[in-house]
Structure 1
Amino acid sequence: MLNNRSILLAFLLTVLCLVSHHALAANRAIEAESLVVTEHKTEINGKRLNYTATTGTQPVWNDKGEATATLFYTYYQRTDVKDKSTRPLIMSFNGGPGSASVWMHVAYTGPRILNIDDEGYPVQPYGVQTNPYSILDVADIVFVNPVNTAYSRVLPNSAGEMPSKDQQKEMFFGVNADIKYLAEWLNTFVTRNERWTSPKYLIGESYGTNRVSGLALELQNRQWMYLNGVVLVSPTEIGIEREGPVEAANRLPYFAATAWHHNKLAPDLQSKDLYEVLEEVEAYTIGTYIPALAKGGFISEAEKAEVVAAVSRYSGLSEEAVSSSNLDISNNFFWKELLRDEGKTLGRLDSRYLGIDKKRTGDRPDYWAELTSWLHSFTPAINHYIRTELNYKTDIKYNMFGPVRPWDRSDDNTGENLRLAMAQNPYLNVLIQSGYYDGATNYFDAKYTMWQLDPSGQMKDRLSFKGYRSGHMMYLRRDDLEASNQDLREFILGTIPAENEPAQYAR
């Protein structure tokens, strides 16, 4: 039987445990350095292979050698490769800014992908399945999460104090700060994993294209790390301006693709294949639409009427809607207007996805149907996958989108930096991948960016474009998952120079 003293002691121990538990919970933090390695098997394009997945955190250091943040990453390596010097390494980034690497990690290039249907819509039970088209057969891949995305976090200083919001912005949250610290981090990663002699590639999606375009030059000029390729998936403008008539007119091919998909074009256009339609609309955009918009309010009534009719024909919108917009149709209006009579709205990042608004009136959708669908399937899958299959366990919240704003967008010269990196490095090639139904970073803008990237035209043989019948994340559609990975595979294999082939320009 317990005496009063024993009861009191037991009570005090219980209180102490509870206090300790709450103290730990209050100070929940990610480890600056951590590492978990798991072994796996898979089958890609009908061939079996073994690989390891290294999941962990690696610090970001300042000039004083102090850890200021830690980045969460997942690194996949094929295990039957004897010579790493010939094995390509892909360094993968998503965008936002503020987005985790989840999207391309468990839907595009990685060995495991979402449980979704063939068009990319979520299905239950949530989780992942084998990616039979992953590029892991030809290259190792590291998926990197910038500060405040996934489990990556800012760290307190030696005094236990967190940097102020302004200090964090200066250190991490801007076009150039982002590029600078990530280049340093990649240097450490490549050194630790002994990959300096490997052919190296960067791949970025959406805002990640700004990131990797800037990194190409930063890695060359500050880290002395030279690349074989940069892949821009659904690229932004990367600092190459598209304003006025060009910005407005460049939307038309995307409008035409979307209208074709939803059977809203005239019968003669609808009966053609999408590629035939887009070839016609692109020619009209360059040859007629941009010059007409350049005339502004001084365009003649006769010419305006002709353009109104053509734009209506190619966009699927009424002539009244086109005329009332003064030939300049905003994306928001298009997403609301095209299926207004059916009570549906279009997705921004993928116009195949449909939404339902409270009212049919208005000039923009209430929400983005595609993004809610993606979060529906990606969020449970990545949380489950990392913890159960990769065996990385933490109580830190996985940030699909993290707090990184306000983002400093000043001095964005990333496109010019990519051009200069290509000029300095004859080995460096660029592949652009876009979905025809992406309205946020439309495919024709991507083509325009490619055309403007190198005004000299002397490097155009090292620039290539691939389009797909889907949206921003073209790989969600099963057919395009296969096609886009194969395009990546061919790009990687085709940009590894032959033995003893020098990096030089021939006269």
Structure 2
Amino acid sequence: MTKTRPLALLAATALCALATPAGLAQDRTADGETHEVAAPELQVRTADMTGTFGGQRIDYRVTMQENLLSADDGTPEAVVVTTSYVRTPRDTSRPVFFLFNGGPGSGSVWLQMGAFGPVRVAIPSDAQDDGGPPYPLLPNPDSLLDVADLVFIDPPGTGFSYLLEDTDPARYYGLTQDAEAVAEVIRRWINENGRWNSPKFLGGESYGTTRTATVVNQLEGSTYNDVGLNGLILISTILDFAAREPTSGNEMAYVVTLPNMATAAWYHGRVQAPSAEAIAEEARQFAIGPYITALLQGTDLPAEERAAVRAELSRLTGLSERYLEQADLRVTSQRFYKELLRDQGLTIGRLDARYTGTDFDDAGETPDNDPSFYGIDAGYTAAINAWTRETLGFETTREYQSIGSIGGLWDWTLSGFGRNAYLNVAPYIGQAMRQNSDLRTFVAQGYYDFATPFFGAELSLNRTGIPQDRVEFHYYDAGHMMYVRDEDRHKLSEDIRAFIRAR
């Protein structure tokens, strides 16, 4: 298989580079002295191209732009990169879709080069390792450019975006801090492009769904500069973090992941059911019925009831009753990855349980690594660097941060709520929907995603205060990045295209 340059596949009619000159700002040092801080020179790269998306031939302009964020006193603090794809000639009545990835610390490479950008990286669709380069870049007919202009945002610390040398990371690395920065970038883009009255959609993947909730709170919760939205698009959703990790006494973590264990066991032939949907529904009903009832009884659980629950748990997960008893009916996801196919010498993936890997040995409780991540990461990293540097001409010595390490610096408290023992941003979505009668929410979940389990997304969004008639769920036969599977990338694109058109 040979690598094809993207511009051989797309008609490029222009490529130009602009630079915003550096400025000066005052900064005060710890000893009270002031000195001039030079703002960095900002790049703007543009290219005019043509492609076919959703069956339509579309002319569009790509703009890759560095945006400077500053403190209230004008001191430069951060540079945020946006990559926008806007149909030409410009039509301000067209919808615009602002989107980002998650992490926190992940650049927009995944959604941009895997799902919705005009070109995509070709990696195996059948849950096999992507191997070594070259990784072909292909036209992406599943891009949404036929129904909306697209603006990919790399928040500070992700992609090519960065903090300036003297900037305190606490200013940007946190639930609210990050949301404020992204909301500012969105408002600025709307201003500069004259799109205040365009229909607007906001969304992301993984922690990007968390960011969607906190950003909509900034955009629609403001009384001085509201940005009305038409839709939220959540892909692989994590809003309620209470059930994320199984700590002692937190029984909901086991409830939330049980349906994932059932679908993974079904996929690998360890349980019998007509379909993934069927086994998922069986597991849902067992999880919120007999299973949670048993777990909440703790050591008071009667032996007969325990035996019945253990047998059904074994049937749904493909794990032996002996193993389940040793685990006290509480199997962590990490243990499941290792145990399900231990007799074959294989582990399964966290991001996508369809993937399998081979560890150093077959002992132990947890896998050496996640085969569904190392199975795709090299291809995506190569693709974003080839597209931005070689095709768009973006110049930098910085490395693109596909998955950065800023999560360890993250402030996980919500402003105004003090210390959050129970972190849940879903109420932000409910509030925005109650205060905006046209705001709808689209939720996409993969059946084989343990990173953001589909049952967890369902439980976080069926709560009081969230208008259920404006929330729609869609399911896919893949994992966290469901678009790595060709059939699901097309289905996801068609589902979102219909959601945008139905505004």
Asked if TM exceeds 0.5, the reply is yes
Distance in 2 between residues matched to 1:488 and 1:107, nearest whole Å: 15
**Matching residue within 95, 102, 115 for 1:95:** 102
1:291 to partner: Cα distance: 1.3
Match of 1:427 in 2: 438
**Matching residue within 410, 413, 420 for 2:413:** 410
8 Å Cα contact 1:59-1:185 kept in structure 2: no
Distance in 1 between residues matched to 2:424 and 2:339, nearest whole Å: 35
Query: Percent identity, aligned pairs only?
Result: 35
8 Å Cα contact 1:113-1:129 kept in structure 2: yes
**Matching residue within 247, 255, 258 for 2:253:** 247
Distance in 2 between residues matched to 1:239 and 1:340, nearest whole Å: 30
| 1:263 aligned counterpart, secondary structure | coil
Larger Rg belongs to: 1
Give TM-score, length-normalised by structure 2: 0.86
1:78 to partner: Cα distance: 1.2
Match of 2:8 in 1: none
Match of 2:321 in 1: 319
| 1:234 aligned counterpart, secondary structure | strand
Match of 1:482 in 2: 490
1:187 to partner: Cα distance: 1.1
Moved more, 310-319 or 181-190: 181-190
Distance in 2 between residues matched to 1:309 and 1:413, nearest whole Å: 33
**Matching residue within 360, 363, 366 for 2:362:** 360
Higher strand residue share: 2
Letter in 2 for 1:34: Q
| 1:97 aligned counterpart, secondary structure | coil
Letter in 2 for 1:151: F
Per-residue CA distance 1:198-251 (angstroms, 9 max, x = gap): 111111111111111011121113331111111111111345667733221221
Please list, as runs of the form range in 1=range in 2, the aligned pairs for 1:99-498 lying within 5 A after superposition: 99-119=106-126, 121=128, 122=130, 124-156=133-165, 162-163=166-167, 167-169=168-170, 171-222=171-222, 223-238=225-240, 244-265=250-271, 269-270=272-273, 272-404=274-406, 405-411=408-414, 412=423, 414-452=425-463, 455-456=464-465, 459-495=467-503
1:49 to partner: Cα distance: 1.3
Match of 2:87 in 1: 78
| 2:63 aligned counterpart, secondary structure | strand
8 Å Cα contact 1:111-1:134 kept in structure 2: yes
| 2:183 aligned counterpart, secondary structure | helix
| 2:114 aligned counterpart, secondary structure | coil
Query: How many residues of Structure 1 are paired with residues of Structure 2 in the alignment?
Result: 449
Distance in 2 between residues matched to 1:205 and 1:131, nearest whole Å: 19
Per-residue CA distance 1:476-500 (angstroms, 9 max, x = gap): 10000000111111111112xxxxx
1:62 to partner: Cα distance: 1.8
Higher helix residue share: 1
1:354 to partner: Cα distance: 1.0
8 Å Cα contact 1:240-1:415 kept in structure 2: no
Distance in 2 between residues matched to 1:435 and 1:32, nearest whole Å: 42
Per-residue CA distance 1:262-305 (angstroms, 9 max, x = gap): 0111xxx24x1221222222222222211121111111100000
Structure 1: unaligned runs, 5 residues or longer:
1-28, 157-161, 496-507
Distance in 2 between residues matched to 1:376 and 1:152, nearest whole Å: 20
8 Å Cα contact 1:172-1:181 kept in structure 2: yes
Per-residue CA distance 1:313-343 (angstroms, 9 max, x = gap): 0001111111111111100000000000000
Letter in 1 for 2:454: Y
Distance in 2 between residues matched to 1:465 and 1:394, nearest whole Å: 40
Shift in alpha-carbon separation, 1:399–1:349, aligned structure 2, 3 A: same
1:415 to partner: Cα distance: 1.7
Distance in 1 between residues matched to 2:367 and 2:125, nearest whole Å: 26
Letter in 2 for 1:35: V
Give TM-score, length-normalised by structure 1: 0.85
| 2:462 aligned counterpart, secondary structure | helix
8 Å Cα contact 2:263-2:276 kept in structure 1: yes
1:51 to partner: Cα distance: 1.0
Match of 1:22 in 2: none
2:64 paired with 1:61: no
